Amino acid sequence: MADSAQVVREQDPVRSVLRADGSLAGDPRRALGLTPEGFVDLYRKMVSIRRADQEALNLQRQGELGLWGQFLGQEAAHVGATMALEPTDWIFPSYREFGMAMCRGIDPATMLTVFRGLTHGAWDPRKFHFAPLAIPVATQVPHAVGFAMGSRLEGSGEVVLVTFGDGATSAGDWHEAMNFAGVFKAPVIFLCQNNYWAISVPLPRQTAGRIADRAAGYGFPGIRIDGNDVLAVFAATRAAAERARRGDGPYLIEAQTYRMGAHTSSDDPTRYRTAAELEAWSSKDPIARYERWLRAEGLLDQAGVDGIGKEAESTAEKMRTRLREAPAPDPGKAMFDRVYSRPSPGFQQEREEFESSLESPG
C-alpha cells in the first residue's frame, strides 16, 4: 500500500515540486530542465517588462496615455507563468498583465494604443493565443473557463491560464467560473496574483481564510506559492498545465506577491498603506532576488546585467517612439466596420450621419 506522501504526490503534482513555504524544492537547474540561457532569459524578460512598465507610467504622466495600471513587483508572476506554458496555450488576462503580453511577443507600443484611446483591440488574440485585456474585475474568468471547455471538446490539447488579483475572488463571476470548471474538469489554471490590495481595501478586510483553500470547495486542488520567486511560479504553472493537459482538471495557484506601485495612475496609495509595509516588501523584490541567485550560480555577471539593462532601455525607447507616431484611427471605421457583415439601411444611415458630424482633418 502506498504511503500517504506518495498518494499526495500522485494526486497533486504541483505540491511535489514546492516546499511548504511555496518556494521551489530541490535543485532548480536540474528540476526545471532549463538551459543556462533559459534561466537568464527569465531575468531578461523581468527586467524588460519592468522598464516598459515604468515608461508607460512616464507616458501617462506626460499626457500621452489616459490611464496606466502598474505591475511593479509582480514581474516574477508574469514571466514565470507565461514562460511555463506552451506557445499554443491560451492566456486570459486582467488589465494588469501587460508584462505577460510582452512575453507572448505582442508589441508593447501596439498594446499602449488601447490606453491612448486609439483602439479597442490592438492585437489578434488568435495569433498570440492571448485574449484582450479585461478591465471589469473578474469578467475574464468565466470567459477562460468557457474557452477551456471548448478546447477540450475539440481535443486540441490547449490549456488555458486565467489571471486575476485577490480582489477578483470576491466577485460572483469568479465563483461561478470556479464551480463550472470543477464540475466539468475544464483544462484551466486559475492564477491569483495576491498583491494584498484591492485598490484601497486590504486583503484581511475582503477575504476570510486563504484564497488557495477555496479550490477544495469546488472539487480541485489549490496551492499558495511564493509569487516573488520566478522559478517557483514557473514550476507550479508548468506542473498545473501538465495536469490539466492529462485531463485531470483545473488548478488554483495563489501567488503571494505585492503591488509596489499604485493601483492605477489615478490612485494615491500613500492614503491607505504605510511606508513601512512598502519597505518590507521592497526587500523581497523579485528581480533583485533572482539576480542574486543567478550570480551565485555563475549564470550571470555584471557585464550581463549591464547588457540586459541596455536592451530594456532600448525596448522602452522604441515603445515610446512608436506609440507617439501611431496614427489616429478613422472614427467611422473603428465604430462601424466590425458590427455587421451586411449592414441594414438604417445602420448605414446612422453611419452617414455620424461621419457627416465629424470635423475635417484640417
Q: What is the mean pLDDT of the chain?
A: 94
Instruction: Using DSSP bridges, classify how beta strands 251-256 and 222-226 pair: parallel, antiparallel or unpaired.
Output: parallel
Which three cell numbers mark 309? 539593462
Cα torsion 293, 297, 299, 302: sign:
positive
d(CA 65, CA 256): 29
Instruction: Using DSSP bridges, classify how beta strands 188-194 and 160-165 pair: parallel, antiparallel or unpaired.
Output: parallel
Q: Which range is least confidently modeled, 12-21, 274-283, 309-318, 345-354?
A: 12-21
C-alpha angle 17-20-22 in degrees, rounded to nearest 5? 65
pTM of the model: 0.92
> Residues 80-103: pLDDT tens digits?
999 999 999 999 999 999 999 999
pLDDT at 30 over 70: yes
pLDDT for position 342: 93
Amino acid at 64: E
- DSSP classification of residue 30: H
Amino acid at 174: W
More confident call, 334 vs 298: 298
pLDDT for position 361: 61
Cβ neighbours for 195, distance < 8 A, ≥ 6 positions apart? 73, 74, 165, 166, 257, 258, 259
pLDDT for position 121: 83
Q: In 3D, which of 279, 274, 276, 225 has the Cα closest to residue 252?
A: 225
pLDDT at 2 over 50: no
CATH architecture classification, 4-329: 3-Layer(aba) Sandwich (3.40)
206 and 167 Cβ atoms separated by less than 8 Å: yes
pLDDT for position 148: 98
pLDDT for position 317: 98
d(CA 75, CA 287): 8
Cβ neighbours for 151, distance < 8 A, ≥ 6 positions apart? 90, 157, 158, 159, 160, 187
pLDDT at 75 over 50: yes
Question: 333: how many CB neighbours lie within 10 A of its CB?
Answer: 11
pLDDT for position 120: 82
Share of the chain above pLDDT 70, in %: 96
pLDDT at 1 over 70: no
pLDDT for position 277: 94
d(CA 89, CA 248): 16
Which three cell numbers mark 181? 470548471
Task: Give the mean pLDDT of 156-168.
Answer: 97
pLDDT at 44 over 50: yes
Which residues are marked as active site?
A: 259, 263, 272
129 and 104 Cβ atoms separated by less than 8 Å: yes
Q: In 3D, which of 231, 147, 204, 155 has the Cα closest to residue 181?
A: 147
What residue ranges do the domains of the chain occupy? 4-329, 332-362
Q: Judge residue 361's burial from the number of C-beta atoms within 10 Å of its C-beta, 0-12 exposed, 13-18 middle, 19 or more buried.
A: exposed
Nearest-10 Cα torsion for 159, 39, 232, 285:
-120
Residues listed for the chain? 362
108 — pLDDT class (breaks 50, 70, 90): very high
> Residues 207-261: pLDDT tens digits?
999 999 999 999 999 999 999 999 999 999 999 999 999 999 999 999 999 999 9
3-class DSSP state of 304: helix
